[in-house]
Amino acid sequence: MPEVLEAPAAATMLDDHGAHAPRTNAAGRLLAVLDAFGPRSRALSLSEISRRSGLSLSTTHRLVHELLSWGALERDTNGRYSIGVRLLELAALAPRGLDLREAAFPILDDLHHRTRGNVHLGVRNGLEVVYVEAIRACATHPTNGRIGDRWPMHATGTGLVLLAFADRDLQEEALSRPLERFTPLTITDPAELRRKLAQVRQSGYAVAVGQITLPDLVVAVPVYDPFGDLAAAISVVVEAARAKPQVLVSMLGDASGEITRRLAAQSGQRLVRSMPRVRGFAGGHGVPATA
Amino acid sequence: MPEVLEAPAAATMLDDHGAHAPRTNAAGRLLAVLDAFGPRSRALSLSEISRRSGLSLSTTHRLVHELLSWGALERDTNGRYSIGVRLLELAALAPRGLDLREAAFPILDDLHHRTRGNVHLGVRNGLEVVYVEAIRACATHPTNGRIGDRWPMHATGTGLVLLAFADRDLQEEALSRPLERFTPLTITDPAELRRKLAQVRQSGYAVAVGQITLPDLVVAVPVYDPFGDLAAAISVVVEAARAKPQVLVSMLGDASGEITRRLAAQSGQRLVRSMPRVRGFAGGHGVPATA
DNA sequence: ACAGCGCTTCCGCCGGGCGAAAGGAAGATG
DNA sequence: CATCTTCCTTTCGCCCGGCGGAAGCGCTGT
């Protein structure tokens, strides 16, 4: 385990992911309650929340009920607590969240049907990717890729793209911490990863094999907002055996451009010229294909 | 320019929807900051948040930065604040939220492609419906129906279903408050609505015309969880002219059953027998497709 | 230059909230 | 049936975290 670099003072947080240290700050206590919930723990009893947040039972009790009456938490039939729809309503307002999804969805759906692969729309958050949309081919790939999933950047297609086009010091920070291994093929060597990123930066897209799930190949490209800034990345995951990477790159390139266009339409913004472009794919006249 | 009113101390909540009064409670202040955001105000400056929440500027400042460092808020390039992806991550954990969406999506997507209509998945929250998924036919129906949208129950297909099968006293509460009118056809008479609900209860589905958008017809059916409890409602909206309600009812009935089955599979639950059923449609062998 | 606005920081006083502890409900174990 | 455990709920007094007034700063527009 790496020592904590951010010096968050000592604390006893049992967070599901790993970080955060809201400590004895007032608002922090409220957030600690929310932090108690995670993918592995969607429904918690009061005392579980208390233990996980490190707050006394009575404090937890009051806070939980405050959140309850506001709608941030709900109580199921067993008396356990879970995240409430009010939070979904709020989250839907995130410009980089379901808003982005809204613009991208039809294109991603189309991509999904044409490639029969898993399609992801991811944005960078800190040093990780968060999926804002994920369309899965029926049964394959058990739980991989859901909305709200958070993954390290080095092992995902979208992450590689987002990292490659991020600030240099952010890249360095990402490279300087331990790179988790998911399969024998996962890139965990900083030098190799650095080479990979350069390649992504140069070609304008990422292709990777078996980084998280073994028999799979992922292709990812960046998505730009109407101002020409990197907004997100989209990827398609298919079985490596039946993959035609160049075709996928081309389709993704078209899709990315289309999403940017729809983002512009949505916000009433005018497109900025000279948008970065995917190389090795003659921009523009992709197969339109409506369902 | 309006003179600075100096925050009249009393509750000056300018909530986007209408209610809530968190007032001087501690946690309430934090939530008031979040409440400042709404569909009409996704990006706010600090002082806007301050005004909307009724909190002093310095308090707002501190709270906002606390939320910022936790990831609940993000700061865009103009320095304005908006909802952050961390909240999306949290919201994705809601059992009645994106979790439910996850199970329902393939079925809804299929429904969308077969009917070419707008498909909604809604759950009840208080006296309103919140959409957990919404798939829109391309350009039609401008902004109607997005994830996280909140609508009164009496005017939406999903709402009618959810209300019809809710507790009697909840129905009464909903009927006892003013029923907003959206079009000349919107049902706003409690007596008429009561009749409508009885009809929905009896038939097992709802059909309504022009409740929110004029030339449209909506068909909705309930969705049950594996325990046989009402979990959500799904609906399809199409132009009234080209609608074949009975076909839609049949397709929706099948879809609903399928969603329940997937929910069961997802949670490892066994299906409870004797699930309520959509009447006037011989369960199971629905007419496949018409496009 | 000045004025107006919005963001940030500081600080002292005050009251909201913390947590120990006790009470209560419900289930497990003997 | 008694007892033990676990979890939830409520109360209460003391204390310290946080509230907000005010001042400082950096914009932008006239």
Asked if strand D contacts B64 at the CB level, meaning under 7 A, the answer is: no
- The answer to whether residue B263 is domain-embedded is yes
- The answer to whether residue B113 is domain-embedded is yes
Tell me whether residues A94 and B84 touch, CB distance under 8 A: yes
- The answer to whether residue A21 is domain-embedded is no
Neighbours of A204 (CB within 10 A): 20
Confidence label for B74 from pLDDT (cuts 50, 70 and 90): very high
In whole numbers, what is the pLDDT of chain B averaged over residues? Answer: 83
Q: A105 and A69, same structural domain?
A: no
Tell me whether residues A27 and B25 touch, CB distance under 8 A: no
Q: B252 and B183, same structural domain?
A: yes
Domain boundary among A90, A107, A137: A90
Q: B188 and B146, same structural domain?
A: yes
Confidence label for A214 from pLDDT (cuts 50, 70 and 90): confident
Q: A111 and A86, same structural domain?
A: no
Q: B212 and B160, same structural domain?
A: yes
Confidence label for B266 from pLDDT (cuts 50, 70 and 90): confident
Q: A192 and A147, same structural domain?
A: yes
CA distances for B19 relative to B22, B32, B35, B221, angstroms:
10, 12, 10, 29
- Say how far A84 CA is from C16 C1', in Å: 27
- The answer to whether residue A278 is domain-embedded is no
> Of the candidates A31, A63, A90, which has its C-beta nearest B83's C-beta?
A90
Q: Is B33 on the interface with A (CB under 8 A)?
A: no
Place of tokens 């609903």: B256
Whether A5 has a pLDDT exceeding 50, the answer reads no
Q: A248 and A110, same structural domain?
A: yes
Per the model's pLDDT, the better-predicted residue between B212 and A145 turns out to be B212
Which nucleotides of chain D does any protein CB come within 7 A of?
6-12, 17-22
Q: Which CATH number does the domain housing residue A110 bear?
A: 3.30.450.40
- The torsion region of residue A149 among left (phi > 0), alpha (psi -120 to 50) and beta comes to beta
User: A49 is in which domain, residue-wise?
Assistant: 26-90
Q: A65 and A151, same structural domain?
A: no
Domain count, chain A: 2
- The answer to whether residue B273 is domain-embedded is no
Q: Is B245 on the interface with A (CB under 8 A)?
A: no
Whether A282 has a pLDDT exceeding 60, the answer reads no
Q: For residue A139, what pLDDT is reported?
A: 54
In whole numbers, what is the pLDDT of chain A averaged over residues? Answer: 83
Which range (A159-173, A204-218, B6-20) has the least confidence? B6-20
Q: A148 and A81, same structural domain?
A: no
| pLDDT tens digits for range B146-165 | 899 999 999 999 999 999 99
- The answer to whether residue A109 is domain-embedded is yes
Place of tokens 């449209």: B216
Confidence label for A8 from pLDDT (cuts 50, 70 and 90): very low
| pLDDT tens digits for range B45-73 | 999 999 999 888 999 999 999 999 999 99
> Of the candidates B70, B86, B150, which has its C-beta nearest A89's C-beta?
B150
Nearest residue on chain A to B16, alpha-carbon basis:
A90
Among A residues 246-265, those touching chain B with beta carbons less than 8 Å apart: none
Q: B152 and B46, same structural domain?
A: no
Which residues in chain B touch residue A94, judged by CB atoms under 8 angstroms apart? 42, 74, 82-85, 87-88
- The answer to whether residue A8 is domain-embedded is no
Q: B177 and B234, same structural domain?
A: yes
The mean pLDDT value for B176-187 works out to: 93
Q: Which CATH number does the domain housing residue B36 bear?
A: 1.10.10.10
Tell me whether residues A98 and B135 touch, CB distance under 8 A: no
Instruction: Order across the sheet with A43-44: list the strands.
Output: A43-44, A81-83, A73-75
Domain boundary among B84, B109, B131: B84
Q: A245 and A122, same structural domain?
A: yes
Domain boundary among B67, B84, B101: B84
Cα separation, A169 vs A5, in Å, equals 16
- The answer to whether residue A289 is domain-embedded is no
